[in-house]
Amino acid sequence: MPSADVSNRSAVAVVGLGYVGNVVAASLAAAGRHVIGVDRRPEVVASLEQGRAPIREPELQERIDAARALGTLRATTSLEEAVAASCASLVCVGTPLGDDGKLDETDLLAACEQVARAVPAGREHVIVIRSTVSPGTHGRLGAHLASALGAAFGQQITLALNPEFLREGSAVADLERPQLIVYATEHDAAARFCEALYADHAELLQRTDPASSEMLKLVNNAWHALKVAFANEVARAAAPAGVDPFAVMELLCRDTKLNASAAYLRPGLPFGGACLTKDVASLSAHASRHGVDAPLIGAILSSNRAHLEHLVEAVLAHEPKQTAIIGVGFKPGAPDVRDSAPVKLVRELLDRGVHVTVADSAVLDARVPPLGLLALQQALGDPRAQAAPTVAHAVAGADVIVVGHPCRADRDAIVALEPTVPILDAGGELTRTLSDAERERLAPVVLIQH
């Protein structure tokens, strides 16, 4: 393989030639970027230097062949050599699961420090972490590098996160034809590098904060695992009824408006309404009745209850004596309060000795008897809760205001009143509709962020 021009400072080092590192190195080099792969295993380096893919992966050998023809890819066991010839290092070191159930980031952190120390004096270098890491890694590593390097960190040497979303068996395609590219950094130089690196996919590039970037990769894989486990539980529950689980799941996935979509994937209040709780309980009971172990389905209601308890404790942390709860429908603007999470929140607070007043314009304006205040009182189903005819009446005397599922009229009333007591936006429904100026005046606290 012809040697790449390693004096080209646009070259990048790919540190760690495991599954991710090989794919990243070969793809970048095939696209014309000078790449120096680094690995401490001589046999892996030798394989790449000889033009052979060290791992079996569709399209990988073709990318290595293309890079070989261009003279843009080489490999070495010398980290110092690679860093000295590069403007950035993409760190793809493995982070296996440790015996304590946490990601073992020992090799990753060591590699990042070694890269930083190998940068020639006065040269700028960007360290980009592509490895899977736990939330807080960027902060810990940044603090360590700042202590070790002094003023050079953040100036000559900068840090970014760029999580990979690659699947074995389609890793090259996933890298080159992505749906989303995420990066995070606190340094302008690192941001410029990431934006230049993905210039061909600028419309897919999303900058976020480091902790969100770290969390996203773990959440992605947890979501994929959840889908697999759910489909398998459906299969087990379907068998006693003589139902084809493949047919059920295929039909489920055809609905891309509600099922295979972003619907229901926004954090907020616990679910409620006439259907969800009832039908989840029914499916769980069916599985149990037939001796089918379906812990995931069985845990859905427990998880929903845990989220309600979280909200209750978040409200109680403010030590309220009188609380106003605005918006008690099972979803925003709905007059239907069947199995409503805000109503459950009302009852929980009452049971804890908090005086509660409630307002909900959508329930008050319902056109099905009972109407008005009677409708709201019956919806609450608890004489201890005081139904108010307006938001103004409800918040009078309250030392905390909790916003549940407000309709537009409730939202406008809160904005007009500009309460001086804390506003706890339990599901974030109010905050999402406020202008920047309104948000600054009201300063609502979104409880699901704590």
Which residues are catalytic, by number? 275
Whether residue 370 is preceded by a cis peptide bond, meaning omega within 30 degrees of 0, is: yes
Report the SS3 class of residue 89.
strand
DSSP percent split of the chain into helix, strand, coil, nearest 5: 50, 15, 40
Mark residue 71 as left, alpha or beta (left: phi above 0; alpha: psi -120 to 50; beta: remaining).
left
Distance between alpha carbon 170 and the CA centroid of its chain, in Å? 23
- Spell out the residues 6+ positions from residue 434 whose beta carbon is closer than 8 angstroms to its own: 415, 442, 444
Q: What phi, psi does 286 have (nearest 5°)?
A: -60, -45
CB 29 within 8 A of CB 35: yes
- Spell out the residues 6+ positions from residue 174 whose beta carbon is closer than 8 angstroms to its own: 165, 166, 167
Query: Exposure of 322 by Cβ count < 10 A (0-12 exposed, 13-18 middle, 19+ buried)?
Result: middle
- Spell out the residues 6+ positions from residue 421 whose beta carbon is closer than 8 angstroms to its own: 395, 398, 399, 400, 401
